[in-house]
Structure formats: C-alpha cells, structure tokens
Structure 1
C-alpha cells in the first residue's frame, strides 16, 4: 500500500525513494560580461584546453545564478549583479560526460580601471577581447552559446538551445 500525505513520515520516505531514482543533471552556469568598449570577458582555465566564458559548474542544490556569482567571486574577485537569463542549452552526453544543462546569464557592462587577475589556480588568465577574437578562442560548443547569448541580449529575450543548436 502506497503511503499518503496523511502520514508525513511515510510520505516523505516514499518521495525520497522516488527522488533517489530520478536522473541527475550536471549544471553549468556562465556569464556574458562586457566592458565599455563592448569586448567580452573570457577566462583561460588551467584544467582544460581553450578559453571559456567566466562561470563554472553548480555545486549540489545550488541555483545556476548563484553559481555564476560564486564562481566570479572565487576565481576573479568580482562581485557581479546579473541582469537576466540569456541562454539555456541542453548538452547531449559526450565522451565520459552525461548530459548537462548549461546557462548563460547577462552580466552587463563591467567598468574596469585595472587588469583582471585570476584569484585561484583554476585560471591562468582573464581578459576582455573583441567578439570576433572571442569566437576564435572559444571551442565550437561555447562559441555557439556565445553567439546565442549575444543574439538574446540584442533581442531582449532568452534562447533555448538543443546541444548548441537553436533550430530544434
């Protein structure tokens, strides 16, 4: 016999059992942050090849928008206020990785008077680059997300991608 909400302890145990068998998704959260000249902030991670947008992987039960704020604080010493959601991308399993949900948030314009320096060993470099140069430096998957984020910012509405593709 299935428990009911009339028995809260049994009901919660029943729900916890169901929760434990459901799929878990990895969550990545990045930010589109530009300077006054319109250049895009990129970071160079030490733990993988190529450049990336600033951000990272969510911790257990951490909302994606808090992930971005935490990662920028930890890795660059920046305090940012997000201005909205730009991209949600479902990323198919690839290599050893299960699927993930990747977010890009709008970070607005950062008025920097000094050079950005990484604050931990996860990054070797951080710099603002022209959009065309950013496209050259990013891997294809992130380049597609960046293009979608810029389009979403220009159009004022978020974009959903299916493995980097908007035409699903």
Structure 2
C-alpha cells in the first residue's frame, strides 16, 4: 500500500466514524464551600458553568472559553473530576461530558460573579445541598460525584442512559 493509498484509507475512515458532541463544565467553589451554578435561559434547571466544545476544540479549552464568554471569568481548568458518556436522549445523539476542577475563589470574588452573556439569566454560589435541589437529577448526581472525586483525588468515569 502506498502512502497515498494509506492516507485515502484513513481519510475515508475519519469521514465515516462517529463524531461525538463534547460538553465541558467546571466545578468552581468559594472559600465557604459553596459551588457555582448558572441559570441558562434555554434550560428548565440550573447547571454547572461550562458548555459545548466547538469543532476540534479540546474540552479543557472549551470550559475555559465558556467561562470567559458567559461570566467574564478567567479560569484555568485543572484536572478532570468526572468523565461521562451520556447516551442518546430526546433529539440528541450521545455525548462525552467532562467536569474539570476550576479551584476556589474568595468570597469577594464570588460576590462579583455576574452573567455577561444573554444565554444566562443568573449565577449563584450555593451549598452542595441547595445545588442538588436546583439541578436536574443527572446533573446533581454528576456534581456529587465531582465533589467526591475532588476529595479523593480521583477522576470518576460513568456511562449513563436517559429516556
């Protein structure tokens, strides 16, 4: 097989293989132990800050870009706390979901966090228990897993299906 044949074979495989959507969220905490949530205008529930990766964008870079675009926050996404495969649901195909540790901010920094994008109707630092009440059930579970992984120094991997 020539180099040109090999290249053509690989290009054909690349064109036919599945493309995964990638969501990249962050866990931001304040010094009081509260977690940052955002209230998207296009969803029924609050959410972890972050969003969808663009084509060929690394998940970590996507999380950092989304925080800057939506909240004006310059963060460095640290280690992954959660990596999930989220099965097809509703009109959506499957996706990979990352939750990165984004560290801790001071109480003054937390008080200054405000949405700067029309996609968000609010942002708030809340206790993990209050977060569980505001989040969709699967996101509340993902947050709990992220907090446990943070404490244990691990990364939690999961595969989830939704109706």
The answer to whether the superposition gives a TM-score over 0.5 is yes
Corresponding residue for 1:123? 120
How many corresponding residue pairs? Answer: 159
1:83 to 78, 82, 86: 78
Moved over 6 A (4+): none
1:144 to 131, 141, 145: 141
2:49 to 51, 54, 61: 54
Pairs within 5 Å for 1:8-157? 9-113=4-108, 114-157=111-154
Larger Rg: 1
Task: Measure how far apart 1:117 and its partner are.
Answer: 1.2
| TM-score of the pair, normalised by structure 1 | 0.90
| In structure 2, distance between residues paired with 1:82 and 1:73 | 12
Q: Which runs of 5+ in 1 are unaligned?
A: none
Q: Name the SS of the counterpart of 1:120 in structure 2.
A: coil
Corresponding residue for 2:159? 162
| TM-score of the pair, normalised by structure 2 | 0.93
Q: Which runs of 5+ in 2 are unaligned?
A: none
1:61-109 deviations in Å (ceiling 9; x for gaps): 1110001000000000001112211001111111111111101000110
Q: Cα RMSD (Å) of the superposition?
A: 1.3
Moved more, 29-38 or 155-164: 155-164
